[in-house]
Amino acid sequence: MATADLSRINTNIGALNSLNVLRDVQKNLALHQQRLSSGQRINSAADDPAGLTLATKLQVRSDSLQQASDNIGDAKNLLSVAEGGLSKINDILGQMRVKAEAAASDALGGDERSAISTQLTEFTSEIDNIVSQTKWNGSSLLNTTSARVFQTGADQNETTSFNFLTAFDSNTLNVSVGTTTAAVTIGSTAGGVSTLASSAVATGNAELASGDYTVRIRADGKFRVFDQYGNAMAIASTSAGGTTLTSDWQTAASSATWITGRGATITFAATIAAGDSTFSYTSGGNSVSSNSSANAYLANLDTAISSISTNLNKLGSMVARLTYKEENLSTAKVNTDAAHSRIMDADLAEEQLQTTKYSILQQTATSMLTQANAAPQSLLSLFR
């Protein structure tokens, strides 16, 4: 700070010094008043460039953690919808088992067993209705084993997957009631499929016992078979003596014969064109017309109930896992917000203290500037 010389008045150094101090006081006072007004320590990048950079990253992290938590909530709601459908299917299967157990007794006659069969058919129709109507955002939940992937973390690939072990329609559960129909019809010949016929049912698969199948042939001659839900069916080449089922793309050689896991035989014509061919097929059904058939049906129902129970257990375990993830994300978000607050938020007590100090200094600096402006007037006494 320059030293004032009272005898030199053309430039009032003392007043200029007081003015500079007043300006500094005014700038600091405005800064602390702004912090008190906004509640933020950093109101522009110039206040703390490094701090603003870190705080911005923390804010993005906090928002991402919140979205991940919201995603988990949506995933739990989706699984709750699926659980509701599964629980109702389980209840229906329990009632079906009671009816099948009654039909297993020879105390019943043909009419009584026929009535039970009709009721069981209605029960299976309701199971299929539940499967088709149990949806989330327009997507069915119970008709596929495809995995659903939930974004449950703030960063890339922090996901959680869930899939059911089986689909739950009455055919897949093998609880449909009816008679065997060997009819197989071709809906289209665009794919070059020449003949389709019934055959023995292969084992060790989870395919639909009936429904609309699609033979899809690519331009390179490879083909696959899909069920009505778009799931790839298991097939084996009988012309090559194959017995191992596979759902991979296979070469659709002319005159080659393939069998699906449920027993539909596919023979390709000499000319094979790319495209789709559809056919309907039913490999068979359950019956309660006798003691032996009703007991066999009881075994199928027990397997289906066990499958539902296993999947409900898997679903419940996933919901519990997601709950722990949700709680962990909530804790992480609180800690991230705390770190952000330490950087960005103003300490109001400290800011009020500084505002009071600079408010007083503003008044004293103004007073001193007044005195400094008046000081050169004392030189007038030299001219009296």
DSSP 79-99: HHHHHHHHHHHHHHHHHHHHH
The contacts of residue 209 (CB under 8 Å, 6+ apart) are: 171, 172, 174, 176, 262, 282, 283, 284, 285
* Segments of the chain assigned to CATH 1.20.1330.10: 53-174+288-336
What is d(CA 41, CA 38) in angstroms, rounded to the nearest whole number? 8
CATH architecture of 53-174+288-336: Up-down Bundle (1.20)
Give the tokens for residue 110.
């043909």
Full-model pTM: 0.67
Selection from 166, 202, 199, 112 nearest residue 306 by Cα:
166
CB neighbours (10 Å) of residue 186? 15
Pair 376, 4: CB distance under 8 Å: no
Output the pLDDT for position 183.
Answer: 33
Which DSSP symbol is given to 289? S
- Split the chain (384 residues) into runs of 10 and give each run's mean pLDDT: 65 82 90 88 87 92 95 96 96 95 91 91 92 91 89 93 89 74 36 42 47 74 75 75 73 72 67 67 71 91 94 96 95 94 90 90 88 77 71
Pair 86, 142: CB distance under 8 Å: yes
Distance of CA 19 to the CA centre of its chain: 64
> Per residue in 2-14, pLDDT tens?
666 666 666 778 8
What is d(CA 117, CA 254) in angstroms, rounded to the nearest whole number? 43
Pair 249, 222: CB distance under 8 Å: yes
Give the tokens for residue 251.
């070469």
